[in-house]
Amino acid sequence: MSTILQINLLKGLNNLPFGATTLDAETIFGKPEEVQTLDDPILEISSTVYHYWDKGFSLFFDNKNAKKFSSVEIDNDETELFSKKIFDLSEQELIDLMKQYQFTLSDSEIQEWGEKRLSFDEAGLDCYFERQRLSSINFGVVDEFNNFEFLPN
């Protein structure tokens, strides 16, 4: 994968800011390899997902908010956060890095499928570890109630 992704917490991904349109995403990253619609009637959310499988990320656009960019899921090993390759960090190194930038760990939980989730709610960031290695990252906008806007995989 040649795309180096820059996580800009609370702002966006690379040059794509939260609130951007699908056209903006295509201008920056090109056409997605797959487009999917996800609906969750229980959470009352609907998303259009642009999957960039070869580049290692998926962009989520909120269908109830004029298809505005609201979150991203990343599994690209070259991804950087605060100029550090985040997938090279251990759980403790990630916690320490976030703390340097005034984001504290708000929750940690083992998921039913076996991954360990570390959540930094004030940053809108969830990190998933499998066998003590970072396997994926989800981050997005934080709503007015200071809760992460979760959009399912």
Which pLDDT tens digit goes with each residue over 56-80? 999 999 988 888 999 999 999 999 9
Which pLDDT tens digit goes with each residue over 109-136? 988 888 899 999 999 999 999 999 999 9
Which DSSP category does 96 fall into? H
Asked if residue 46 lies in contact with residue 39, where contact means CB atoms within 8 angstroms, the answer is yes
pTM exceeds 0.95 for this model: no
Q: What angle do CA 118, 124, 126 make, to 5 degrees?
A: 25
Pair type for strands 107-110 and 84-85: unpaired
**Tell me, what's the pLDDT at 113?**
82
How many Å apart are CA 16 and CA 119, to the nearest integer? 23
Strand order across the beta sheet in which 16-17 lies? 16-17, 12-13, 6-8, 80-81, 84-85
* Residue 10 pLDDT greater than 60, yes or no: yes
* Residue 1 pLDDT greater than 70, yes or no: no
Q: Which sequence spans correspond to the domains of the chain? A: 6-140
Q: 3-state DSSP call for residue 121?
A: helix
How many Å apart are CA 71 and CA 105, to the nearest integer? 19
- pLDDT band for 40, please (50, 70, 90 cuts): confident
- pLDDT band for 3, please (50, 70, 90 cuts): low
| Residues 6 or more apart whose Cβ sits within 8 Å of residue 119 | 105, 106, 107, 108, 109, 125, 126, 127, 148
* Residue 5 pLDDT greater than 90, yes or no: yes
* Residue 92 pLDDT greater than 60, yes or no: yes
* Residue 149 pLDDT greater than 70, yes or no: no
| Phi, psi for 145 (deg, rounded to 5) | -95, 10
